[in-house]
Structure 1
Amino acid sequence: MNRRATPQPLDVRPVTDAELADWTRAVNTGFLRPPTVPDRMLADRRVAFAGSRVSGAFDGGRCVATFRSFDQELTAVGGAAVPADGISNVTVAPTHRRRGLLTRLMADDLAAAKERGDVVATLIAAEYRIYGRYGFGPATTMTEWSIDVPRAGLDPRWAGPLDGGRIDFADGEEIRRLGPQLHERLRRERAGVIDRNEHWWAARTGRLWLYGDAWVEPFFVVYRSADGVVEGMASYRTDEKWSDAKQPLNTAAVNWLTAVTPAAERALWHYLCSIDWIATVRTGWRAPDDLLPLHLPDPRAASITTQADWLWVRVLDVVRALEARTYAASGVSVLEVVDRAGLAGGRFLLDATPDGASCAPTTRDADLTLDVADLATLWLGDETVGRLVSLGRVREERAGAAREADALLRTSGRPWCPDMF
């Protein structure tokens, strides 16, 4: 009589330095990448992961599930930075599914983040249906455009910004020197933006090799205003494609583009569309309400190629999360927050004004009942309470409460996270 073998208990724990190579092989396997780990990549990961919380599940000495988290800052509505638990490198080997490994790794990490005092946890979800059960909700949207350059209507003789500014090429050293300050300006102004540490800049300029193929240097350009202030920069790559009739059909693919003024944004997009031989510009991950199409004489030249959820948020401290953000109107709302994990549930009274907000546990009757994942979706202002009520995800306990909450929580500009992590 055949009997199925009983699975042996798996060891879930922090990863030692000696196990990092095996852990990285498991990450690569989970993301369907070649499992080989080059020596330099492993050495650079040791540098970049210092201070990270690297965990795994082991079966007989082999790593079969991976998880990493690290300290992060996320910009709330209004510009305040809140401490966050950034989560990445989450995989479970296909040979070890349905054994609760992700649940154990996630529960341990979120409990530790709560204990540390993190306000939220964040991640970029590779698959939509996984993370809602852990209290995460999609909080920002990403849009990518493809620009048909000949159709855009721009002057092909364009030779520089018309506002007195200028665009110059830069090397990696200059980007590492100028980029962090520019990004800090952006994240003080835009909800949803996360911080970039020195390892981010090192990896994007060839100093560290953390992902994918061997480093190939992209083009870097910097925009300076008429008074010499750096207000924008971009990184992009190009291919080499010609038609049978010897016509150039090359594409410029933007790795990232940062601009803190509309003038800088307009100048950088016009520059990218003016490069000789470039017929198409792929924009990379942009905000869904990006000004890009309207910077072109013919906005229809920019067609959306990707639009999807991006940054997912898990609220760990309701009081601090709601007090950290700003509100355009005054009002009071009592929220019944349901959290199956027991980390952030309860009934809370939000008293908001444009000058500040207070939030505290309360015994008053609830106006709205919602899951902690739906609170995360609403927190950065990219979704409406009314839509979630219509979907049955938020329950309106008092008539008119959804409309009143929307007046508090909605924002004039949509949140945006420009980064993958």
Structure 2
Amino acid sequence: MVKEHMTSEKAKARGGRGSKRARVMEEAARTLNSHGVSNASLPAIAARLGVSRAALYYYFEDQEDLVFQSYRRSCEHMAMHLSEAEAAGGDAMTKLQRFIDNLLAEDAPQLAALSDLAYLRLEQRNIINGLFQAIKASIAGLLASGAARGELRECRASIVAPAILGMVSWIPIAQQWQSNESLTHGDLVDAVKAILTEGIATDRRSTVDFKPLDVALAHHAEVNLFDGHAVAAAKQDALLGAASWLFNLKGVDATSLDEIAMRVGVTKKVIYHNLGDKETLVAECYRRSFRHYEAVARAARDYDGPRIAAIMAANHAFARASLMEGSAPLSPLTGVEALPPAVREEIGNSTDFLMDIFLGLHAEGQAEKTVRKLNARAIVAANPGGFEWLPKWFETLSDAEREAAPLELAELYRIGLFPI
């Protein structure tokens, strides 16, 4: 009896430690997603949990270990849910939806988005990359086998598989961008599944020829060297383009001002003179991104043709810009809540502007019967997950895949993955 009691007490203690660890890991993931690596410090997480900093050293050796463990936990959860979804049987779409439902269940723990791998040591980075690539390969295999059996349409699985992972990773980030509480977590999950099953088009059998939008990231191709303002603007845009690209590839915290200066061929002093410190630089990169997004949205609104074509052209432009080496807009993935309040307010206003334009495009498309009736607000909010992660995958994509990705992702949004 005493032995049974002791065994029971030990089990409770283990359960308590496990439950406490789960709470710590979830808070770490939430903080990484909302505030970024540098602001997800052990003291910050300890304060949010109401424990001492020393208590967290029971779980993490240091800040780097916190990020590594959080990323490994994300990969392990994705791998576990994917394995369980496949083991439960059914056709390819059933397995895919089961994976999404379980991973993004209302009571499931929030996972840390894998946005700053370069922050980790090489051996840690290799471990996370290996885990993620295995998950991506499993989903690509599921897509390929599903297409071979006629359960899914043919697609470029090497592009669509990471897009699916991008969409599920985007959900907690999308919720940060909401200016109101009109969308629930369930709305966003349903939107991802709607996109992946049948897309937004009313007629999935027809093809849509669209004219690519001519929206450049920079507007200083020809600079009058005697125009000081134009020269300064061109220099600033070059710095912002280089910074955005490196921030996308490596993460903000793993990218130094020296690296950015070296890429442009200037000194760090030039960055300080033209833009200011790193915090100001990041804020300006965000402003540049949203200026670009707004330009694409206006071009889509003014597009001469069916609304389904306008929406496809916009998605194509967003994805194409994300793959423009050296000048892509900064992807708004993690750390948004760490931005200065004035910048967050600007971005919030821009997000509302973008939402209004794309809601209008969806409403007009429904009226002309080219876009099917869905929860358009949720669909528009979920959509960036498909292309915002492109810079993170850049080095894993071949030249041919980079070339094909914008159209492949525009088609995914239009018609989903069900057979035609």
Range of TM-score over shorter length: under 0.3
Larger helix proportion, structure 1 or 2?
A: 2
Q: Which has the higher contact order (CA 8 A, sep 6+)?
A: 2
Larger radius of gyration: 1
TM-score (norm 1): 0.25
Larger strand proportion, structure 1 or 2?
A: 1
TM-score (norm 2): 0.25
